[in-house]
A and B are shown apart, each in its own frame.
Chain A
Amino acid sequence: MKLELIGITKRFGSLVANDAIDLVVEPGQVHSLLGENGAGKSTLMNVLYGLYDPTEGEILVDDKPVTFKGPGDAMAAGIGMVHQHFMLVPVFTVAENVALGNEAVKAGGMLDLQKTRTRIRQISDQYGFDVDPDAVVEDLPVGVQQRVEIIKALVRDAEVLILDEPTAVLTPKETDELLGIMGQLKADGKSIVFISHKLREVKAVSDVITVIRRGKVVGTADPGASTTELASLMVGRSVSLTLDKQPATPGEVTFRVQDLTVQAANGQRVVDGLSFDVAKGEILAIAGVQGNGQTELTEAIMGLQDHVTGSITLGGQELLGRSVKDVIRAGVGFVPEDRSVDGLVGTFSVAENLVLNRYDDAPFARGLSMSPAVIEKNAEEKIAEYDIRTQSATAAAGTLSGGNQQKVVMAREFSRPLELFIASQPTRGVDVGSIEFLHRRIIAERDGGTPVIIVSTELDEVLELADRIAVLYRGRLMGIVPGAASRDVLGLMMAGMSGDEALAQVHDVQGGNL
């Protein structure tokens, strides 16, 4: 099936999310859409999938114009979509999820799930998915949930599959498997639209790459192009993908975590016996696939978790059991992973958000009253220093873009002397330009002699910042390796192999090749 988008424009009020985009997807082709967060990739795909009406433009399927009033129409035309956030009902079984909207029924509208199960097994066997139709979706690992999404599209005879940032939630191994599945689908004559901002994956699977920037197609690229070329095309200026970073000069070890265990309400050990330490002037990156205990670890350090045992000391002082306020007073700066929920108060102004952790201290407060003038002056300074793009200091923080919100949080945490800095996903959803800036700022903090912990699920970021890398898997420490460790080693560790084993295995393979 050939799919063509001609002059698609989508406006939300005054915002132009897509500006006259042309795109042709040939049958049996993997067509990648490359662009930064917020470039308009997802909007374009939602238009294609019938979730948004295009303001202007036309969609052609096999050279015939079509209009999609809803996802039902798009599916009927042979378009299937795997959303970035899975569209699966967690309490339903796989079969129920696959059947929904496309139910096989017996007399009286009663479900015939047996038919659906048979179809699932058929597809599952054909592509080696290994999916049990009767498993409840919320109990399945993310990688398997993604396959359920693909099955959903295939059951509906999709000829074009849209995969929206499919690798964001996967381990390196799961990613490889997905790329393999994409190859099989392509061999079966399906077309795939692959949306991503990860250059390496895009280069690995694409037949054609279309680059989108600020809602416009800025060009197409050959998969053979170098990552630097692709990145420059994506960002619109030349970017240095590697940061020039001086080697760390670690000083005294001031932060120690010993036998830290965090239990969830149901008794699961989400963090299981962790011990590590961080020295002044070094960055320890915590790598791992999302949901392997990173959130609980950082929250335990901040005093935000219950059922924590072990010991956390900063400069000889025990932090465990202290209130969050005490931890902050002890000099711990914290950037939570979900800034819009935990990092700032969206309805408060930028100026207020910049003093959220110090609003009751001098000079921002005097006695019972706050000092608006001082708070505003502080805001002006930070806005200038961090290049925060906001209409004014009094604008609500929630109206800022993701990258600028992150700058507000960072600016606040860096605005007092720190004994320890922790950042979770410091650059998630942040544009490439700001990433560079935020990374430099973090390294500057390290060079100023603060111990730094970075939690990131993006290997690129980990490799860029880390002086040492700790890998978490199911709440356990797989090992701590030097910052210059290879991707292969980290990938194996993220899948549950200890550091030594991973090193040995990678070494063997390379040795064999030589």
Chain B
Amino acid sequence: MSTATTEAPARGTRDAGVRSWKTPIILAVVALFSLLVFAIGAPANDVTFRLSDDRDAIVLPAIVVSAPVIGWITALGMIALTVVAFLRTRSGRKIPTGVPAVFAVLFLIAFLTWVVGSARTPNVALYGLLAGSVALAVPLIFGSLSGILCERSGVVNIAIEGQLLFGAFAAAVAASLSGSPYVGLVAAAVAGVLVSLVLAVFSIRYVVNQVIVGVVLNVLVSGLTGFLFSAVLSEDPERWNSPPNLPVIQIPLLSEIPVIGPILFEQTIVGYLMYVAVAVIYVALFRSRWGLRTRAVGEHPKAADTLGVNVNRMRFTNVLLAGVVAGIGGSFFTLVAVSGFGRDMTAGAGYIALAAMIFGRWNPIGAFFAALLFGFATNLSNVLSLLGTPVPDQFLRMLPYVVTVFAVAGLVGRSRAPGASGIPYIKG
């Protein structure tokens, strides 16, 4: 035996016997729906998408399209992609990942055209729609980054909601008392860490079920802030609950770029921090020593331990770090979105952030886009209810959650959680 290669055992011949028809069938149903509603049922008028404000330095002309034309083009496109998916599945090959992605984009265009076209005023500011989506997505992105930091190291973080809420509360109070929103920002981070500390101590040190600790923390924070809100904040809102907002920092010239300028270069410090956090955490997770160790303790803690990595210390610091991130995300609610704390004002954003994390496959960039999608869905429902659409408002408000369920159910392919997520590490 000159060469030392061995062949893999147990890799049987692969063939097309067990085919999953899930994707083609879902695509077919959606394509058929699109054909009936968006193409055949298209409103017979034109739809206007405005790309810039009249006051902008560079004014782009608005895009005016005919609703039936777009409806038919997109529907036929979706049908074509469905056929591709069917043929691929029948011949036992994998469906290229581009197919569902392009399909989703087509569906989005079709839906948007149809729903705006059916409104009383078929005219929408696309730049506003996008900028609003980003604004709504900011806390979600911070929340999902917090989740990623925890789960990648093997701790399930259900307490994102509590971290966001406590961050929002602390930011409001600290900024009101000090008169500086930046003090509020720091207080928010500290508040997030406090929630994390409880999570870390109970789930790592005392090995309590992580999901239960997380849920209990959410209820605790909700009750605590609710009590303080009615007992203290509402008594003297001038003193306790009138935080100054974080100023918007415009980057000259760049913020004048149509459509993307306001999104990228006309943000508060929290908005800029969000972009920085996504990039830094992404690079650190996959390229740094810290990231390698974090992923190792989240996948196979015993292996990391046998190589001299202190598993529980690694997890502890990651959970605390996650608190900083989520706390800052919480400050968005009281220092940017509105001025002042309200009872349970995060309204489930932490759970949506958790979904964004899963949808984004535990990857910061994936989570970023997933959160953007959820933000877009929420913002769309807001904008459309103003335009007066035929779809009842309540249904539009369900949109983000429907998207979440489909996303988490694995429509976009299987996402794989870190191997040891949720499993405490006990030595020996």
A→B interface (CB under 8 Å): 49, 51-52, 70-73, 75, 81, 83, 86-92, 96-97, 99-103, 105, 108-111, 128-130, 139-144, 152, 171, 173-174, 176-177, 261, 263-272, 289-293, 307, 473-476, 496
Give the A-B pair count, Cβ closer than 8 A.
152
A111 touches B419 (CB 8 A): no
The answer on a CB contact under 8 Å between B9 and A141 is yes
Closest Cβ of chain A: how far from B217's Cβ, in Å? Answer: 29
Given known pairs A111-B292, A128-B4, A292-B10, the reply for A263 and B299 (CB within 8 Å) is no
Is B50 part of the binding interface, using a Cβ–Cβ cutoff of 8 Å?
A: no
Identify 21 residue pairs between A and B in the complex whose beta-carbon atoms are under 8 Å apart, listed by A's number: A51-B305, A51-B428, A71-B307, A81-B306, A87-B302, A91-B299, A92-B299, A97-B303, A100-B292, A100-B309, A108-B288, A109-B288, A143-B6, A144-B6, A177-B4, A266-B14, A267-B19, A268-B14, A270-B10, A291-B9, A473-B9
Convert B249-276 into 0s and 1s, putting 1 for each residue whose CB lies closer than 8 angstroms to a CB of A. Answer: 0000000000000000000000000000
Contacts of A96 in B (CB 8 A): 292
Q: How far is the CB of A293 from chain B (nearest CB, A)?
A: 7
Given contacts A89-B299, A272-B12, contact A265 B18 (CB under 8 A): yes
Please report the C-alpha to C-alpha distance between residue A261 and residue B17 in the assembled complex, in whole angstroms.
Answer: 10
- Is the CB–CB distance between A71 and B7 below 8 Å? no
CB distance from A98 to the nearest CB of B (A): 10
- With a 10 A CB-CB cut-off, give which of B7, B10, B291, B310 has the most chain A CB atoms: B10
The CA of A221 and the CA of B366, in the complex, are separated in Å by 60
Q: Which residue of B lies closest to A131 (CB)?
A: B4
B427: A residues at CB distance < 8 A: 51
Give CA–CA (A267, B92) in the complex, Å: 9
Q: Which residue of B lies closest to A81 (CB)?
A: B306
B96 adjacent to chain A (CB < 8 Å): no
Could you tell me if B306 and A269 are in contact, using CB atoms closer than 8 angstroms? Answer: no
Chain A: CB-nearest residue to B3: A130
Complex-state Cα separation, A101 to B92, whole angstroms:
42
Minimal beta-carbon separation of A105 from chain B (angstroms) = 5
Docked Cα-Cα span, A171 to B303, in Å, equals: 24
The answer to whether B8 touches A71, judged by C-beta atoms less than 8 angstroms apart, is no
Tell whether, in the assembled complex, residue A90 and residue B419 are in contact, meaning their CB atoms are under 8 Å apart. yes
Complex partner residue of B12 from A89, A103, A177, A270, CB under 8 angstroms = A270
Interchain nearest-CB distance for B296 vs A (Å): 5
What residues of A have a CB within 8 angstroms of the CB of B10 in the complex?
A: 270, 291-293, 474-475
CB-CB under 8 A from B419, the residues of chain A are 89-91
Report B-chain residues with C-beta under 8 Å of the C-beta of A128: 3-4
Q: Across the interface, which residues of B come within 8 angstroms of A91, CB to CB?
A: 295, 299, 416, 419
Cβ 8 A contact of A272, one of B13, B288, B308, B310: B13
Write out the residue numbers on chain B whose beta carbons fall within 8 Å of the beta carbon of A270: 10, 12
Residue B239 is within 8 A (CB to CB) of chain A in the complex: no
Instruction: Determine the chain B residues whose CB is within 8 A of the CB of A99 once the complex forms.
Output: 292
Residues of B within 8 A of A142 (CB): 9
A75 to B303, CA, bound (A): 14
Bound CA–CA A105/B295 (angstroms): 17
Chain A residues with CB under 8 A of B292: 96, 99-100, 103, 111
Instruction: List B contacts of A474 (CB < 8 A).
Output: 9-13
Q: List residues of chain A with CB within 8 A of the CB of B4.
A: 128-130, 177
User: Interface digits, B285-304 against A, CB 8 Å rule (1 contact, 0 not)?
Assistant: 00111111101100110111
Query: Is B303's CB under 8 angstroms from A269's CB?
Result: no
CB of B212 within 8 Å of the partner chain: no
- Residue B54 lies at the interface, judged by CB distance under 8 Å to chain A: no
The count of chain B contact residues (Cβ–Cβ below 8 Å) is 43
CB distance from A255 to the nearest CB of B (A): 24
Interface pairs A-B: 9 shortest CB-CB = A72-B308, A101-B307, A87-B303, A291-B10, A269-B12, A141-B8, A475-B12, A103-B289, A89-B300
| A288 shortest CB reach to chain B, Å | 8
Name the CB-closest residue of B to A96.
B292
In the assembled complex, which residues on chain A have CB atoms less than 8 Å from the CB atom of B12?
264, 268-272, 293, 474-476
- Given A269-B13, A269-B17, A307-B17: A70 touches B308 (CB 8 Å cut-off): yes
Of B4, B8, B300, B310, most A-chain CB atoms within 10 Å: B4
B304 touches A267 (CB 8 A): no
A75 to B305, CA, bound (A): 12
B1 within 8 Å of A (CB atoms): yes
Docked Cα-Cα span, A171 to B6, in Å, equals 10
- On whether the beta carbons of B9 and A130 are closer than 8 Å, the reply is no
Separation in Å of the B79 CB from the closest CB of chain A? 27
Not counting A269-B12, A293-B10, a sample of 15 additional A-B residue pairs whose C-beta atoms are within 8 angstroms of each other reads A73-B308, A89-B295, A91-B416, A101-B307, A110-B288, A111-B292, A128-B4, A171-B9, A173-B1, A177-B6, A265-B18, A269-B13, A269-B15, A291-B9, A307-B18
**Is B289's CB under 8 angstroms from A111's CB?**
yes
- Chain A residue numbers with a CB within 8 Å of B416 are 91
Alpha-carbon distance A497/B387, docked complex (angstroms) = 73
Which residues of the partner chain B approach A90 to less than 8 Å between Cβ atoms?
A: 299-300, 419
A75 to B300, CA, bound (A): 19
Distance in angstroms between the alpha carbons of A267 and B94 in the assembled complex: 11
The answer to whether B308 touches A141 (Cβ under 8 A) is no
User: B6 near A100 (CB under 8 angstroms)?
Assistant: no
Q: B306, A71: Cβ atoms under 8 Å? A: yes
Most B CB contacts (10 A, CB to CB) among A75, A97, A268 go to: A268
Q: Does residue B16 face the partner (Cβ distance < 8 Å to A)?
A: yes
A105 touches B289 (CB 8 A): yes
Q: Which of these, B6, B19, B303, contacts A89 with CB under 8 Å? A: B303
A154 to chain B, nearest CB (A): 14
B306 touches A49 (CB 8 A): yes
Residue B394, interface by CB 8 Å? no
User: Is there an interface contact between B288 and A100, defined as CB atoms closer than 8 Å?
Assistant: no
Residue numbers in A under 8 Å from B14 (CB-CB): 266-269
For A292, list chain B residues within 8 Å (CB): 9-10
The smallest beta-carbon distance between A50 and chain B, in angstroms, is 9
Complex CA gap A289/B11 in Å reads 13
Q: A89-B296, A269-B15, A474-B11 are in contact. Are A101 and B290 (CB under 8 A)?
A: no
